[in-house]
Structure 1
Amino acid sequence: MAVLETPMAIRKVAMDLLAMREHGRLELKRKLLRKGALPELIDNVLDQLTQDKLLNESRYLESYIRSRANNGYGPLRIQQELLERGINKTEITQALDESGYDWQEQLQMVWERKFGNSPKDLKEKAKQGRFLLYRGFNIGMINKLKKFNIN
């Protein structure tokens, strides 16, 4: 592994990563450390990227939420993943609120795509419920789901 010893080398690698997709500050820092960047230089480079508007947490949040929601994940799962990536809970909550997603409608689409039919018995209903919980939808939303009652 090559050691990135200069701010210019670190900036180039960071910009290459940002060119592929948006990154959060902590996520980018971890990747740079794995690529051999000197820890004492990373923060200054990241500060400069932020100042140059190349690294932007709100843009990252918006992009991440859109991507995960389009893949069928709910707000709780997205929030947990962003917390693991070092994003502040207040910022996450605000970004989720401002995302414009109708999470109940999103849940309905995920359920219809995966199951389509009402559960036949309690066992099947529990299975469907566990899947939707895993996907990040809360129990209140799941209980409001149309056609989620046993036939």
Structure 2
Amino acid sequence: MPINNSEEKYGSGCSRRAGPSLKTRAVRYLARREYSRCELREKLRPYLQESQSEEELDTVLDELEQKGYLSDERFARSRVRLRAARYGNARLAYELRSSGVSNELIDQALDDLGQSEGQRARALWSKRFGQIAQDYKERAKQMRYLLARGFSMEIARKVVQADDFDDAF
């Protein structure tokens, strides 16, 4: 007589399957949002079975790329579009680089943005501060705010010190 339902279903010597395959997991992750190849690889690595190797994981990722489910270019464009309103080019490039995206794809994604970095910095500054700094302390605070979000020193200086924003960019 079986002790529990799993013995009834699978027999006494067998255990349940260890869960969805790597490919199934990968497709589920990609259905939620875009991933870079490097990010998806790290996300799937803990699910490698004892009998599976890193090469099998690479094979799954290659297959997903061939079918168009996985694309570093699409990931880079998506990430840049999503975060461009709040961050400068340096920060966006850093995030993409840490996700394993190549430099040429990063440059391409940043070039495809509709607004310049100066326009984005000005919009962010206007939303946060709205008026030109009255003293050095306030100007330094505004500069730090923009610099911490990855805008260049030149852009931050133009935004914080400009009297008429239309002429600044």
Matched letter for residue 18 of structure 1 = L
**Distance in structure 2 (CA, Å) of the matches to 1:148 and 1:137:** 16
Could you tell me which residue of structure 1 aligns to residue 71 of structure 2? 56
The 8 Å contact of residues 89 and 110 in structure 2, kept in 1 or not, is answered as yes
Aligned 1:37-116 pairs, distance under 5 A: 37=48, 38=52, 39-70=54-85, 72-116=86-130
**Distance in structure 2 (CA, Å) of the matches to 1:84 and 1:3:** 31
The 8 Å contact of residues 142 and 160 in structure 2, kept in 1 or not, is answered as no
* TM-score calculated relative to the size of structure 1: 0.86
**Distance in structure 2 (CA, Å) of the matches to 1:120 and 1:99:** 33
Matched letter for residue 31 of structure 2 = A
Whether 1:132 aligns to 2:146 is yes
**Distance in structure 1 (CA, Å) of the matches to 2:129 and 2:122:** 10
Classify 1:140/1:3 alpha carbon distance in 2 versus 1 (closer, same or farther; 3 Å). farther
- Deviation of the 1:125 alpha carbon: 0.8
**Distance in structure 1 (CA, Å) of the matches to 2:69 and 2:100:** 18
**Distance in structure 2 (CA, Å) of the matches to 1:32 and 1:107:** 37
Could you tell me which residue of structure 1 aligns to residue 137 of structure 2? 123
Classify 1:32/1:122 alpha carbon distance in 2 versus 1 (closer, same or farther; 3 Å). same
- Deviation of the 1:148 alpha carbon: 4.8
- Deviation of the 1:101 alpha carbon: 2.5
Percent same amino acid among aligned pairs? 36
Regions of 4+ moved over 3 Å: 146-149
**Distance in structure 2 (CA, Å) of the matches to 1:130 and 1:3:** 50
- Deviation of the 1:147 alpha carbon: 5.4
Answer with 1 or 2: which has the greater Rg.
2
Classify 1:112/1:42 alpha carbon distance in 2 versus 1 (closer, same or farther; 3 Å). same
The 8 Å contact of residues 133 and 160 in structure 2, kept in 1 or not, is answered as no
* TM-score calculated relative to the size of structure 2: 0.78
**Matched length:** 143
Unaligned runs of 5+ in 2: 1-16, 164-169
